């Protein structure tokens, strides 16, 4: 029996169909084939030169100067093993209100400087909401990226979420530091990871199990440990993808497969996220990002197809 959600999505996809057989770009075709067989594809050197440097500088200014990040933010320095063992056991998968009630968070007015924030609170992750800046959208909706995404899904989906995270070394794993599957959608789900810093095992590499999308194992819990996964896929398994990549790389991934965010051992990792889901005319949740109408006007007709109108300010 079709659910209301399924019907709403099918109605929403009218006039958004993409015919994969008409692709005339071999790079896009090969990437789509790799997505279908392995669950991910890596686009190297997609961003570079002046564009990459400008975006890196803007991200650093947002975080280090404006400190324009999402609050409240979890402070690793405030976590106490004996008091917070239950939250540690849950990988901190609880509402912000519960973290705040435990005194485990900090707010904007607690931050005097970037250095003070790191020293006093030691956040494991800082999240920056998507800037309404054409330069960022040109990357999030790069023609090659959206070409791969649309042809993999068979229709034009929507850019449902867009944001940036800076990850730091931390003692206690938090949520996506553990192996998991994304559950935004049972059938259609792609996420693009946009690397703004060089990334390897020391700076928080991303991990993915190739071919695990349709594997029926590891579905009974939300999170799994390295030991759980290593029993099936040892460290030297050729099904393990580890993002030892340079800044400017984009990895597109069907995150219904098993994956996790590595914890940096030093420095930090800046990573952009783009989440693509089917359009749904009955979706009532608040937008995860907003785009100014003036920014939207800078985008191509093809790029604009990916932006939900509910996300447009002054629209």
pLDDT of residue 45: 80
pLDDT of residue 92: 96
> Could you give phi then psi for residue 40, rounded to 5 degrees?
-155, 160
pLDDT of residue 272: 98
- How many structural domains compose the chain? 1
pLDDT of residue 26: 84
In angstroms, the CA 109 to CA 182 distance is 33
Weakly modelled stretches of the chain, pLDDT under 50: 1
Give per-residue pLDDT as tens, 32-78: 999 999 999 999 988 889 999 999 999 999 999 999 999 999 999 99
**Dihedral angle sign, alpha carbons of residues 57, 168, 136, 32:** positive
We report the CATH number of the domain holding residue 198 as 2.60.120.620
pLDDT of residue 115: 97
Please give the residue range of the domain that contains residue 123: 4-313
Question: Model's pTM, two decimal places?
Answer: 0.93
Q: Are 254 and 37 spatial neighbours (Cβ–Cβ below 8 Å)?
A: no
pLDDT of residue 12: 65
């Amino acid at each position: 029996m079709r659910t209301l959600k399924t019907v709403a999505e099918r109605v929403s996809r009218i006039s958004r169909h993409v015919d994969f057989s008409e692709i005339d770009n071999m790079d896009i075709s090969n990437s789509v084939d790799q997505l279908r067989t392995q669950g991910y594809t890596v686009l190297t050197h997609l961003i570079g030169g002046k564009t990459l440097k400008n975006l890196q500088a803007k991200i650093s200014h947002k975080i280090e100067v404006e400190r324009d990040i999402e609050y409240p933010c979890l402070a690793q320095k405030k976590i106490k093993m004996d008091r917070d063992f239950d939250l540690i056991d849950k990988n901190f998968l609880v509402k912000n209100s519960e973290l705040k009630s435990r005194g485990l968070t900090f707010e904007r007015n607690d931050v005097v400087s970037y250095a003070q924030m790191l020293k006093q609170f030691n956040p494991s992750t800082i999240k920056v909401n998507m800037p309404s800046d054409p330069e960022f959208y040109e990357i999030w909706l790069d023609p090659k990226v959206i070409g791969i995404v649309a042809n993999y899904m068979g229709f034009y989906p929507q850019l449902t979420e867009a944001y940036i995270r800076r990850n730091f070394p931390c003692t206690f794993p938090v949520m996506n530091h553990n192996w998991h599957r994304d559950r935004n959608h049972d059938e259609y789900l792609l996420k693009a990871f946009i690397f703004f810093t060089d990334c390897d095992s020391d700076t928080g590499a991303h991990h993915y199990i190739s071919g695990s999308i349709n594997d029926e194992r590891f579905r009974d819990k939300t999170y799994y440990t390295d030991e759980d996964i290593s029993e099936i896929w040892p460290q030297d398994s050729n099904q393990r993808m580890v993002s030892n990549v340079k800044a400017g790389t984009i990895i597109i991934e069907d995150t219904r497969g098993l994956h996790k965010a590595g914890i940096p051992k030093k420095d930090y990792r800046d990573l952009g996220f783009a989440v693509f889901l089917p359009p749904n005319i009955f979706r009532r949740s608040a937008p995860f990002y907003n785009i100014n109408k003036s920014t939207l006007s800078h985008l191509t007709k093809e790029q604009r197809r990916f932006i939900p109108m509910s996300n447009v300010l002054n629209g």
